[in-house]
Amino acid sequence: MSEGVSKTHEKARKFQAIKGVRDIQPPETELWNRVEQTAREVFGTYGYGEIRLPVFEQTELFARSIGADTDVVSKEMYSFQDRDETGVSLRPEATASVCRAYIEHGMQTLPQPVKLYYTGPMFRRERPQKGRYRQFYQIGAEVLGGSDAPAVDAEVIEMLMVFFAKVGLDGATLYVNSIGCKDCRAKYVELLRAELRIVQGRLGADSQRRIETNPLRVLDSKLESEQSIIEKLPRIAEHLCLECAKNYADVKRELALRKIAYQENWRLVRGLDYYMRTTFEITAPGLGSQNAVCGGGRYDGLVELLGGPPTKGIGFAIGEDRLILSLQESGQGKAERGLDVFIAWMGEAAYATAVRAARTLRNAGVSVELPPAAQKFGKALGQADKLGARFALILGEDEVASGQWTVKTLADGTQKKMSQQELLAVLGRR
């Protein structure tokens, strides 16, 4: 049997989205757009401009910036050889790309600092669960160049909290920490490693491995059996050098000045290698164990590490999927905008009027559904109801002849005659 024949007999195969990725559909997309629009507005008021970045980059960019020993790079990237043998990866985050762009376009010659934000999908091959996907979306911002004054850190955090408040997120908690600089952190990491070796036998496999590869990450552990052990480990706040300790105190003073409530969390170390000094995380309710909606921090050495001039840097990434989930859980995620007008028409003459009315109303920003074929009024009104329309515009021979349209308010079933002008005025007032 030839392939062609067997194919015609085979039932058409149904496709499904790949595990860990999903479609985001209307009406939910409306909430996504509102969140993104709010970010644009708020970030704009703080002087940030949007950068649109490629979705894939050379694998080496991520390996060098995020760190080859991190889970993200060693286990979670979608990497492949391009046809010209270049190793490329789907971006697992965007800070590296922003720094690459800063260097590539010589942005250090612009007035400093350069403030940029981005939105878009990121890709990590993690175990899918609620609030954790393999394609997920981040809204992030970076401040590159200029000063590393504590006020810069505090203003970034202030902007974030303003954004979360504007978007309607209730119960967000801000956690802050300082993880020191190259010098004091390196000493602390060695101390931590030594202490961890002593308790090694009581730790899980992941933490045991991290003692050698990335001891700070042990502090991130959520494993119940490790909690009492971790609580007794030395804390970085007690091992910061003088400048880092002063810097951390100043950042907290700047937050207090801005009346930003925060909690200190000495175990907040962030998963990626490039952070230093200020780190922060924001959690939101309704998300179970994946409750971090935003992570960020200072990364002064990163631009240099990627071949650029010494450059200060600080930024954050908001997990948009989780933010949306939390908004929905708290009942804030209702789509606000439904259908305004459904046009129920009958007859040739009414159809011509309906087409013109639909265009005029849409032009005025009113959303309109115009059925493409004639229907009995009863059926049309049923459909208007199903679509959740606020008004049905009933156009028959009489209405067209008189120019007085019948407008039915679907919520209470009342009907009124009005002209197109009056209808526009009614809708405009809403």
The footprint of ligand AMP (CB under 6 A) covers 93, 124, 126, 131-133, 136, 138, 271, 292-295, 317, 319, 321-322
Q: Nearest approach, Cβ of 231 to ligand AMP (angstroms)?
A: 23
**391-395 and 368-369: which strand pairing?**
unpaired
Burial of 291 (0-12, 13-18, 19+ CB in 10 A): middle
Closest-approach residue to ligand AMP (CB): 319
Structure tokens at 164: 């979360």
Dihedral angle, C-alpha 222, 174, 29, 47, nearest 10 °: -140
Q: Between 167 and 423, whose beta carbon lies closer to ligand AMP? A: 167
Report the alpha-carbon distance of residue 302 to residue 310 in Å, rounded: 8
Say which residues have a Cβ less than 8 Å from residue 145's Cβ, sequence separation at least 6: 102, 107, 108, 110, 112, 113, 114, 311, 312, 313
Q: What is the DSSP letter of 74?
A: I
Q: Between 172 and 354, whose beta carbon lies closer to ligand AMP? A: 172
| Angle (CA) 83 89 91, round 5° | 145
Q: Between 143 and 381, whose beta carbon lies closer to ligand AMP? A: 143
Q: Between 145 and 319, whose beta carbon lies closer to ligand AMP? A: 319
Report the alpha-carbon distance of residue 206 to residue 218 in Å, rounded: 8
Beta bridge partners of 322: none
Q: How far is CA 316 from CA 116, 167, 338, 365, in A?
A: 11, 17, 34, 36
Q: Nearest approach, Cβ of 126 to ligand AMP (angstroms)?
A: 5
Q: Between 89 and 138, whose beta carbon lies closer to ligand AMP? A: 138
Check: CB of residue 358 under 8 Å from CB of residue 370. Answer: yes
Q: Provide the sign of the torsion angle of the four alpha carbons 145, 182, 229, 224, taken in this order.
A: positive
- Report the run of H or E that residue 277 belongs to, with start and end: strand 276-283
Q: Between 94 and 427, whose beta carbon lies closer to ligand AMP? A: 94
Tokens 């940030």 sit at which residue?
Answer: 48
Q: Nearest approach, Cβ of 393 to ligand AMP (angstroms)?
A: 43
Q: Between 143 and 423, whose beta carbon lies closer to ligand AMP? A: 143
Q: Between 313 and 319, whose beta carbon lies closer to ligand AMP? A: 319
Q: Between 131 and 313, whose beta carbon lies closer to ligand AMP? A: 131
Dihedral angle, C-alpha 245, 248, 250, 256, nearest 10 °: -140
H helices within 76-146, ranges in order?
95-104
Q: How far is CA 36 from CA 30, 185, 304, in A?
A: 10, 36, 31
Q: Nearest approach, Cβ of 230 to ligand AMP (angstroms)?
A: 20
In the chain, % helix, strand, coil (3-state, to 5) comes to 45, 20, 35
Report the alpha-carbon distance of residue 358 to residue 364 in Å, rounded: 10
Q: What is the DSSP letter of 12?
A: P
Q: Between 293 and 343, whose beta carbon lies closer to ligand AMP? A: 293
Q: Nearest approach, Cβ of 150 to ligand AMP (angstroms)?
A: 21
Q: Nearest approach, Cβ of 317 to ligand AMP (angstroms)?
A: 4
Q: Nearest approach, Cβ of 144 to ligand AMP (angstroms)?
A: 17
Q: Between 131 and 333, whose beta carbon lies closer to ligand AMP? A: 131
